[in-house]
Structure 1
Amino acid sequence: MFEKQTALLKKFSQLVDQEPHVNTEVTPDQHLRVGVDLGTSTIVFVVLNENNVPIYGESIRDHAVRDGIVVNYREAVDIVTHMRERAQSQLNVTLKSAAGAIPPGVSAANSKAVANVIEDSGMHCSDVVDEPTAAATMLGITDGTIVDVGGGTTGISLFQDGHLLRVGDEPTGGYHMTLVLAGNRQLDHDAAEQLKRDPTQQNNVFMVVKPVVENMAHITDRVTNHHLVQPVVVVGGATNFDAFASTFSKQLGVPVMGMPNPDFVTPIGIAMSDKGAASDG
């Protein structure tokens, strides 16, 4: 299951890690889609070709967003502007539009703020979708439960027959894992965040943050009113632990799937939601 999506995630991750962040030439007649994911710890910029295959990817650490809310507007605009300029230079195109996203339940004012960041970075904002719906779009799910654990919030969406039946959002995520780790190891926040991201320390870190993950599972059970539609899939950068999905599964009492490169599921889904004419060759 999700073989195609796994291949796309691997391809996008390679683009993010390499320099330049592009792996193909773009012809003037191609219709490109762009996604901008304003996350609590990172901003991700995605460009897809007309077949929804990643052709450009970049991820930058930021402090512009907290718990799904844009708290440093100027920083967000500057970062996205530079990302757009680099993408245009490397692809040799003008990117005209992009989609953005917000956690479910976030106010209309913050949805407007996300759109304004995209607009002020030099692109038309074609749509602002909720993050779990973007993840479902990327995964091609019409029936299932998506749990999107980002830096600041956990968004839960339940889909059946292509319809969104239930949605919820709670202010807990990777940022709160970092706070627990910082307190346990007596580190400042930045040092704890770096430790959390160190793959060689994954097992030791997860032992400390496991109670936070278990609480996320309890929240998911409550938001879905104990009615989880299969498959249950956890995505988002905070789920990037080998034991995350199994811990969730044990708490919920149902099978739970994780994804490779889970921090890129939602950004790619955001780009797939771009309805505008994203480029000129």
Structure 2
Amino acid sequence: MVDLKQVNQVLQEFNEIVNTKKYRPFDKNKTLKVGVDLGTSSIVLAILDEQNKPIYGSFEYAEVVRDGLVVNYIQAVQIVTKLVHEAEEILGVELTEAATAVPPGTLGNDFKVVSNVLESAGLNVTTVVDEPSAAARLLDLEKGAVIDVGGGTTGISIIEDHTVVKTIDEPTGGTHMSLVLAGYHKVPVPEAELIKRDRSRESETFMIIKPVVDKMANITKQFLETYPIEPLFVVGGASFFDDFSKVFSKYLGKEVLRPDYPQFVTPIGIAIASEKE
């Protein structure tokens, strides 16, 4: 059974570390677990100790990935390199390896490019995990569904025995929220993105983008009609609105749980997955 209270404690600790730019004391003789999440709207670096406790974390907004594909390779490498070097300077250790993740169903060259980004930044890639499996690692989800609402897509994955057994990835995500906001406010998309992130305007913004959330919920409902399973968890940066999971719960007619700071669930899960088997 998922201990959501414990998961939220880890997420809160990580969020505080990210915001304060400080790190938690650790034994430099012990192995660190490092994860790099190349997201649609940001790149996140997560570093944990052997007990999966957050040591350090950082992120930078970036538009280097679209629908799971790296569309600006050079910038992606530059940002990962910067985040790694900053972490090394703050922690006083050298980071030599890390895990990363790809959307479910990513194959071939797209799969390799994500690894190449880390390798070009000087990191050996220990593991490449699919994003819902990474989220399930942090949740310690044995059986259930992970609804991952990213920048470009909404992915729903069925988990059984800690393994993803079925998944879909539909092109509706945070980017579509920004497009709706841009049209409503008659502003460029980058400006709409800033409006979306402004927590002081959350209530107004959510009313505007709610049709997009309804569409995500409908996609999820149709998928789960074929693969009914519980519990249901929603993660991903685009789900940060306070009323997001409430809309999903009402639409699906069953409880949909959302961890605190859902944007950090997958990055931390990636770091957990970095441990060599």
TM range (shorter): over 0.9
Report which stretch shifted further, 108-117 or 268-277: 268-277
> CA contact under 8 A between 2:23 and 2:56: conserved in structure 1?
yes
Name the CA distance, whole Å, in 2 between partners of 1:179 and 1:208.
11
Name the CA distance, whole Å, in 1 between partners of 2:101 and 2:157.
14
Q: Tell me the SS of whatever aligns to 1:95.
A: coil
* Residue equivalent to 1:265: 265
Structure 2 stretches lacking a partner, 5+ long: none
Q: Tell me the SS of whatever aligns to 2:148.
A: strand
* Residue equivalent to 2:219: 219
Name the CA distance, whole Å, in 2 between partners of 1:270 and 1:27.
21
Q: Which amino acid is 1:23 matched to?
A: R
Q: With a CA cutoff of 8 Å and minimum separation of 6, indicate the structure with the bigger relative contact order.
A: 1
TM-score where L is the length of structure 2 = 0.96
Name the CA distance, whole Å, in 1 between partners of 2:228 and 2:258.
16
| 1:138–1:64 CA distance, 2 compared to 1 (3 A) | same
Q: Tell me the SS of whatever aligns to 2:184.
A: helix
* Residue equivalent to 2:164: 164
> CA contact under 8 A between 2:132 and 2:164: conserved in structure 1?
no
Q: Tell me the SS of whatever aligns to 1:206.
A: helix
Q: CA deviation at 1:153?
A: 1.4
Q: CA deviation at 1:236?
A: 0.5
Structure 1 stretches lacking a partner, 5+ long: none
* Residue equivalent to 1:251: 251
Q: Could you list the per-position Cα deviations for residues 154-185 of structure 1 after superposition, in whole angstroms to 9, with x for gaps in the alignment?
A: 11111123342311111211111101111111
Indicate whether 1:8 and 2:15 are aligned: no
Indicate whether 1:85 and 2:51 are aligned: no
* Residue equivalent to 1:23: 24
Name the CA distance, whole Å, in 2 between partners of 1:238 and 1:15.
21
* Residue equivalent to 2:133: 133
Q: CA deviation at 1:95?
A: 1.0
Q: Please, what is the CA RMSD of the aligned residues? A: 1.4
Aligned ranges for residues 67-86 of structure 1 at < 5 Å? 67-86=67-86
Name the CA distance, whole Å, in 1 between partners of 2:234 and 2:276.
29
Name the CA distance, whole Å, in 1 between partners of 2:87 and 2:24.
12
Name the CA distance, whole Å, in 2 between partners of 1:163 and 1:75.
33
Q: CA deviation at 1:122?
A: 0.4
Percentage identity across paired residues of the two chains:
45
Task: Give aligned pairs, total.
Answer: 275
Q: Could you list the per-position Cα deviations for residues 180-228 of structure 1 after superposition, in whole angstroms to 9, with x for gaps in the alignment?
A: 1111111111111111111111111111111111111111123334433
Indicate whether 1:43 and 2:35 are aligned: no
